[in-house]
Structure 1
Amino acid sequence: MANTEISNTKAQTFPIVRKTNSIQQIRYGCSIAALHSAAAIPGVIPITHCGPGCVDKQFMNIAFYNGFQGGGYGGGAVVPSTNATEKEVIFGGAERLRELIAASLKVLDADLFVVLTGCISDLVGDDVGSVVSEFQQQGVPIVFAETGGFKGNNFIGHELVTQAIIDQYVGDYNGPQEKGTVNVWSLLPYHNTFWRGDLTEIKRILEGAGLKVNILFGYESEGISEWKNIPKAQFNLVLSPWLGLHTAQHLEEKYGQPFLHIPVIPIGAQETSAFLRKVVEFSGLDTAQAERFIAQEETSYYNYLESFADFYAEYWWGLPAKFAVVGDSAYNLALTKFLVNQLGIIPGKQIITENPPEEYREAIRQQYQTIAKDVSTDVEFEDDSYLIHQIIRQTKFGHKPPIIFGTTWERDLAKELKGAIVEVGFPASYEVVISRAYIGYRGALTLLEKIYTTTVGASA
């Protein structure tokens, strides 16, 4: 994608024109950054076959300067790497990888190792599959995924890793499937700053509605035993605009499992209750438990909102009337729905930044046409910060300063527009995130606190 040039005369009235093939302030990692997807599974350690510095850059960018999440058991400084040099480029790196795997088995304790490749090994043509198969034949729990940077970004790499684990480790299954058990495919671990807390909330509300949940990633996952149980589930739930669809389609073909695709991640009582009813209906479970749970959660949610209403009524004159969302499609769509339907704020501009495959874009666009019964908005796909900021500068936000839901890259832009900013995605280097969630019933209350604490602070 591109840097741009625009006319110096009233730039806001002229279209933005691409001039180069560079991207300013990137908003995703390369495919090998899916090492974070492996490390997000309890007890799993990635092994990387790539050039020196690749892993460190992916960790510092996606896991550190993005909520300061840390590396966990198998990520960060733990990750072994071949650190391929000119020698491996000229003579091949298969032997170096073989040595690294053997050494890793001696010093690291893991339930599963996932080998990921970088650009060097994929371009040279190292037979990584052959090397890994030697260890598989010895009974070592290990799989591989070819994740050279030219395969795509870390969203694409994520599905390469999930499919590798399913095909090489989970394997075939011809047994019964358990009614009421669901595999959840949703947020991208580590790249989504709040993935840990969000997945915890997703599991909590689905279990509250009566389902047994394989959440697969994060602290609520049971690790590889949960992955082994993937084929036993009644169905797969894809809770995102597009990420996870490829995996669910693969599971449907491999195990005959149906899947339910819900593009909008629920934030707030209205969306969350509707979400739970859709899932329970699809599962065929009795609705009584779900309805009891929904009633309890809504009562609690609206009790908190009743107290919040005093603030909202008093400060309505100082609150933003329009907003912009700059971020990946999952949070972008979810936030837009919540802000319009729950808070009545008018959408100013929505920009999706993870460069989703072209095949999914029209379906994503359609979601923005039904934000509310009487509200629709257009969405743009852009990953170059220079262009994104020019688009936001050209957006008419009215007489009040806007609130921008974006990243660290938007902080100076928000100051320029005299608006407020809430960092909701990569990179988020002014947020420290431990277990915070922004989705579901409880996450929505936390999000409201964040929005209006930020707004009040910005106006002080």
Structure 2
Amino acid sequence: MTRTIRDESTASAYWAAVNTFCALHDVHVIADAPVGCYNLVGVAVMDYTDAVPYLENLTPTSLTEKEISSSGSTQKVQGIIEKLKNEKKELILISSAESEMIGSNHTMMLRHSYPDVHFFDSRSLGENEWQGRDRALVWLHEQFDDGRPAEVEPGTVSIIGPTYGCFNSPSDLAEIKRIVEGCGLTIKHVYPFESNLHDISDLKNSDIVIVMYREFGQTLADLLGRPVLQAPFGLSETEHFIENLGRLTNRQKEAAAFLTLEKKTILKPIWDLWRGPQSEWFPTIRFGVVADQTYTEGLKKFLSQEMGMACLFNHNSQTTNNNDVREELANQQPQFLFGRMADKIYLAELGAKTRFIPAGFPGPIVRRALGTPFMGHSGAVYLLQEIVNALYDTLFHFLPISMRSSEGPIETKKITWTKEANAILEEIVKKAPFISQISFGRDMKKKAEALAAKQGKETVTPDILHMLK
């Protein structure tokens, strides 16, 4: 049975390879890709954001119809290698969907002519970006680990995960670093974001390994044979995370002291908001999430289980059907939607009063400042602050603001409503977010009365409302 795919939000494993390998400082990537295929990621517009900076260590073979239809890409690849072989960087050649379709596996050619150049089959046709990132990290370990037994350095922590194209990486990474260092521990490596190839062999010497994302990185972490912790969301997870950092490194006292300080400083705004009148809003808030697994699960746990807000739905963008997302938004509009650009478009198409908060790519958003974390204690404060400010902004629109006009008041005929029309209006308003229902109902009433007047009617009937739906 044919299934229509709407607004694909997950890239292929080709992009995963580029985003992973190009993050390493001493690597130059050769993309066996057609003219223009590399350009999206190369000039940082794959997600319409600077989550991927301009990549100076990415060179394409720029395949044309000639190579794809007849000669193959071997000669192009050899020409690029000759130009780059004197660079003081490791060369990694990766396949693209197009080169895979014509069977351009360069393993044998490289082995005979360029043994120092590595080939990574991205499996672009069969794997998505999260599968690709996970396998790329494992492949790097297989190729460049020295194979020596681990020599663990006590009190050190390595973080696995941050690569180009990951939503909110700078802020969330800064928060995890802050927590680790607050417990008296030392950051050994941030891999691959702040690493070189020679750091790969040193990862296994870390006292603890932290995996930033649930989508990828766990496979590599398991290979290292060290205790592994998952980067936390919310209050409870972060508290347990800090306690585990102390327990696993025999620094329980330092971790306990840091946690006590956190509650008096970083977390104070949450306590203040909880004691204030704003907390009365929390049980009335209905929210939805459409994002990568890490953010989908994290947001639901914090906002729903800890803050008492109602989660109407949460969709993992890797597996969800966007048609279902759009249909769900049409049936029940949350007050807040954490999502991607596609979800913002769906809201606009529906004329929804929902407040949109970016929580994933693709999306036209810059997330390079370090003050917008979602993870950890700082993330909990930031998220709650954004929600409360948005609620105040919603209330602003209830104010009876008078617009200045040189014209006198416009006389309008009084429009009456039938009992049936009022009942339909009530049902429509119930679908709007709770705190917006007053303004939403007022707007709907004005539109219905204006349409009735335009049609020369003095009464709003059910058919008028059906025209507005």
- For normalisation by structure 1, the TM-score amounts to 0.75
Which residue number in structure 1 is paired with residue 201 of structure 2?
228
For residue 166 of structure 1, the aligned residue among 120, 128, 141 is: 141
1:151 aligns with 2:126: yes
Q: Note if contact 1:80-1:104 (Cα within 8 Å) is conserved in structure 2.
A: no
Which residue number in structure 2 is paired with residue 194 of structure 1?
168
Q: Quickly say closer, same or farther: Cα 1:226–1:78, change in 2 above 3 A.
A: closer
Which residue number in structure 1 is paired with residue 263 of structure 2?
298
Q: Distance in 1 between matches of 2:252 and 2:121?
A: 43
Q: Note if contact 1:31-1:152 (Cα within 8 Å) is conserved in structure 2.
A: yes
Shift of 1:156: 1.4
Q: Note if contact 1:132-1:143 (Cα within 8 Å) is conserved in structure 2.
A: yes
Which residue number in structure 1 is paired with residue 286 of structure 2?
322
Shift of 1:314: 4.6
Q: Distance in 1 between matches of 2:112 and 2:158?
A: 31
1:277 aligns with 2:247: no
Shift of 1:59: 5.1
Name the aligned partner's letter for residue 297 of structure 1: E
Q: Quickly say closer, same or farther: Cα 1:78–1:185, change in 2 above 3 A.
A: closer
Q: Quickly say closer, same or farther: Cα 1:54–1:288, change in 2 above 3 A.
A: same
Count of residue pairs brought into register by the alignment = 390
Q: Distance in 1 between matches of 2:38 and 2:362?
A: 17
Q: Distance in 2 between matches of 1:277 and 1:316?
A: 31
Q: Quickly say closer, same or farther: Cα 1:60–1:323, change in 2 above 3 A.
A: farther
Question: Per-residue CA shift, 1:210-252, capped at 9, x if unaligned?
Answer: 333322133xx24334333113224533344342222233x25
Any unmatched runs of 5+ in structure 2?
398-469
For residue 376 of structure 2, the aligned residue among 420, 426, 440 is: 440
1:69 aligns with 2:69: no
Q: Distance in 2 between matches of 1:330 and 1:131?
A: 40
Q: Distance in 1 between matches of 2:179 and 2:279?
A: 32
Q: Note if contact 2:338-2:357 (Cα within 8 Å) is conserved in structure 1.
A: yes
Q: Secondary structure at the match of 1:150?
A: coil
Which structure exhibits the higher relative contact order, with contacts defined as CA atoms closer than 8 Å and separated by 6 or more residues? 1
Shift of 1:260: 2.6
Which residue number in structure 1 is paired with residue 308 of structure 2?
344
Which residue number in structure 1 is paired with residue 443 of structure 2?
none
Q: Note if contact 1:402-1:417 (Cα within 8 Å) is conserved in structure 2.
A: no
Q: Quickly say closer, same or farther: Cα 1:298–1:42, change in 2 above 3 A.
A: farther
Q: Quickly say closer, same or farther: Cα 1:133–1:202, change in 2 above 3 A.
A: farther
Q: Distance in 2 between matches of 1:145 and 1:443?
A: 36
Q: Note if contact 2:266-2:377 (Cα within 8 Å) is conserved in structure 1.
A: yes
Runs of 4 or more off by more than 6 Å in structure 1? Answer: none
For residue 344 of structure 2, the aligned residue among 401, 411, 414 is: 411
Which residue number in structure 1 is paired with residue 152 of structure 2?
177
Q: Secondary structure at the match of 1:198?
A: helix
Question: Per-residue CA shift, 1:369-397, capped at 9, x if unaligned?
Answer: xxxxxxxxxxxxx1x322221133334x6
Q: Secondary structure at the match of 2:38?
A: helix
Shift of 1:168: 1.6
Shift of 1:332: 0.5
Q: Distance in 1 between matches of 2:42 and 2:4?
A: 23
Q: Secondary structure at the match of 1:84?
A: coil
For residue 322 of structure 2, the aligned residue among 366, 372, 385 is: 385
Shift of 1:438: 1.9
- For normalisation by structure 2, the TM-score amounts to 0.74
Which residue number in structure 2 is paired with residue 426 of structure 1?
361
Find the structure with the greater CA-based Rg.
2
Question: Per-residue CA shift, 1:97-156, capped at 9, x if unaligned?
Answer: 1221221345x664x44322112322333342344446864xx5x533211321311111
Which residue number in structure 1 is paired with residue 62 of structure 2?
83
Q: Quickly say closer, same or farther: Cα 1:446–1:318, change in 2 above 3 A.
A: closer
Which residue number in structure 1 is paired with residue 234 of structure 2?
268
Q: Note if contact 2:183-2:251 (Cα within 8 Å) is conserved in structure 1.
A: no
Any unmatched runs of 5+ in structure 1?
1-18, 356-381
Which residue number in structure 1 is paired with residue 73 of structure 2?
93
Q: Distance in 1 between matches of 2:170 and 2:46?
A: 12
After superposition, residues 202-241 of structure 1 pair within 5 angstroms as 202-213=176-187, 214-218=189-193, 221-241=194-214
Q: Quickly say closer, same or farther: Cα 1:152–1:194, change in 2 above 3 A.
A: same
Q: Distance in 1 between matches of 2:155 and 2:77?
A: 42
Which residue number in structure 2 is paired with residue 33 of structure 1?
15
Shift of 1:33: 0.5
Question: Per-residue CA shift, 1:25-78, capped at 9, x if unaligned?
Answer: 11111111121122223443322112222222345676541x433415xx2x65
Task: Percent identity, please.
Answer: 19
Name the aligned partner's letter for residue 392 of structure 1: L
Q: Quickly say closer, same or farther: Cα 1:50–1:179, change in 2 above 3 A.
A: same
RMSD: 2.9
Q: Note if contact 1:407-1:423 (Cα within 8 Å) is conserved in structure 2.
A: yes
Q: Note if contact 1:61-1:427 (Cα within 8 Å) is conserved in structure 2.
A: no
